[in-house]
Amino acid sequence: MTDETQIERESMEYDVVIVGGGPSGLSAAIRLKQIDPELQVVVLEKGSEIGAHILSGAVLDPAGLNRLIPDWKEKGAPLNTEVVDDNFFVLGEAGQVRVPNWPMPPLMNNHGNYVVSMGNVCRWLAEQAEELGVEIFPGMAASQIVWDGNRVKGVVAGEMGLNADGTPGAMYEPGMELHGKYVFIAEGVRGSLAKEIIEKLNLSDGHEPQKFGLGMKEIWEVQPEKFQKGRVVHTMGWPLGKNAGGGSFIYHFEDNQVLVGFVVHLNYANPHLYPYAEFQRFKHHPMVAELLEGGKRVAYGARAISEGGLQSIPELSFDGGVLLGCSAGMVNVPRIKGNHNAMISGIEAAEAAAAALKEGREGDRLTAYDEAVRKGDIAKDLKKVRNVKPIWSKLGLWPSLMLGGIDMWVSNLTGWNPLGTWKHGKTDAQATGKAKDFQPIDYPKPDGKLSFDRLTNVAFSFTNHEESQPAHLKLKDPSIPIKVNLPEYAEPAQRYCPAGVYEVIEEGGEARFQINFQNCVHCKTCDIKDPSQNINWTTPQGGDGPNYPNM
């Protein structure tokens, strides 16, 4: 392995270093330069280009964009499909029941929202940032924190060319240290640097554990007569039933493309559950199959979703920096929306940092950012829905629809949650039950028309990793998958990974755990759901991973 103490790296100094070129990081960069064009701001993106690793539904609430760039329409933002039709169904195996819109709390209404590719929205935001003078470095994975005591001083980015054993190869590049007066962590859900900072500085103390879902998505080109631009459909129920919480989305986007997604809450107990197979089975429901038949799938991807809500957001500021967007967990679960809050968090952090820098401060805590999030628009958005997820987890689908609906309605009308604040309790890893207590689930084989095996679909994520580098999926104890997870939990990594990264292979009567890291789509599910918490997701070298065209 590389001896970090012996590596000499050049360093660059900035006012603000931003890790992650998603909606929160780019919004922060833009707002910083809007306030003070002289600020030196850099955005580091691990994907091969801005947008390459962005996967979201997405129906975008433009609240954050309206605040950041009020004239976004005139500037050509790629928001071209306004929602025109909002539908919600509860599915059974052979049919569906439509839930009328009128009993839904107003916050569930998608009027004024847009079906978008967040990858393309981020590409457009990057153009706006660069016009303002922001430096953007794609293909630069930030792999380490530069600590100065308990202060985050910067990050190491751009280390490349390591051999599989971690030693420097012939083309080794040590990367650079990028130091910031403030460092913004905007990696998205379960980012490796955010995870390290939260654990080292105990930022989650006094808050509920973060909860997660796994979102899987395909883009389909459907027959023109079946396409209804701006139509939005959400479903719950079949095929998950009582096995897990979750549901689907079907968004009619543009150019006869329909965005088909499926979310499985990762607090499921049955380790035999296979989220990817549930997604594939869902597409055979008569309502969905009728839409997709005769069409073709053109892209696939997967990503974890933060679902803990307001009570799971950790402390957001620390000496030298802040957590933005999904690095902290700002998704509104019943709305299936977080991009607007991610953008607002970037704006709030930028305003707090710009004010601090104007005062001559650096490296301290931006407590004004914490306050802005917990008392401003983000808190108002999340407070109304804070009990939906824990009610669903504890009582199931129908009680969550009724009790959660009442709680949202009262909160919407009065600002008061009659149910108080429910707790989440266990982490998603701790929620995993023992294999002996559950029946295995018999999943139908993919038909190659509507449903596909994992490896076939992974090819449609355009994922690539340089095979000679060290595996970025690290086992704390290599013996645990076979000695513990296999007998106790039927080694669920074989099933919860939506990209077929993990396999248990029989060789000479012995079981062996194999990691096919080249398949990884960077969803982070393994880091979240492994019952032994033995898998640590780290960044591969910059530019590697999925290359989503318009997710």
Distance of alpha carbon 546 from alpha carbon 332, whole angstroms: 26
**Contact assessment for residue 463 and residue 518, using Cβ atoms and an 8 Å cutoff:** yes
Buried b (16+ CB within 10 A) or exposed e, 506-530: eeeeeeebebbbbbbbbbbbbbbbb
Residues in Cβ contact with 280 at an 8 Å cutoff, skipping those fewer than 6 apart: 446, 450, 451, 452
Answer whether 368's CB lies under 8 Å from 322's CB: no
pLDDT 10s digits, 304-361: 999 999 999 999 999 999 999 999 999 999 999 999 999 999 999 999 999 999 999 9
Residue 344 tokens read as 């607002």
Q: Which CATH superfamily is domain 11-72+120-207+314-384 in?
A: FAD/NAD(P)-binding domain (3.50.50.60)
What count of Cα atoms within 13 Å lies in the side-chain half-sphere of residue 479? 1
Number of Cβ atoms within 10 Å of the Cβ of 284: 17
The 10s digit of each residue's pLDDT in 62-98 is 999 999 999 999 999 999 999 999 999 999 999 999 9
In 3-state terms, the chain is what percent helix, strand and coil (to 5)?
A: 30, 25, 45
Fold (CATH) for 430-439+462-537: Alpha-Beta Plaits (3.30.70)
> What are 524-543's pLDDT values in tens digits?
999 999 999 999 999 999 99
Question: Which pLDDT belongs to residue 402?
Answer: 85
Residues 6+ apart with CB under 8 A from 505: 511, 512, 513, 514
Query: pLDDT tens-digit profile of 160-179?
Result: 999 999 999 999 999 999 99
The domains of the chain are located at 11-72+120-207+314-384, 430-439+462-537
Beta strand 151-157 pairing with 176-185:
antiparallel
**56 is an annotated ligand-binding site residue:** no
The helix/strand/coil state of 179 is strand
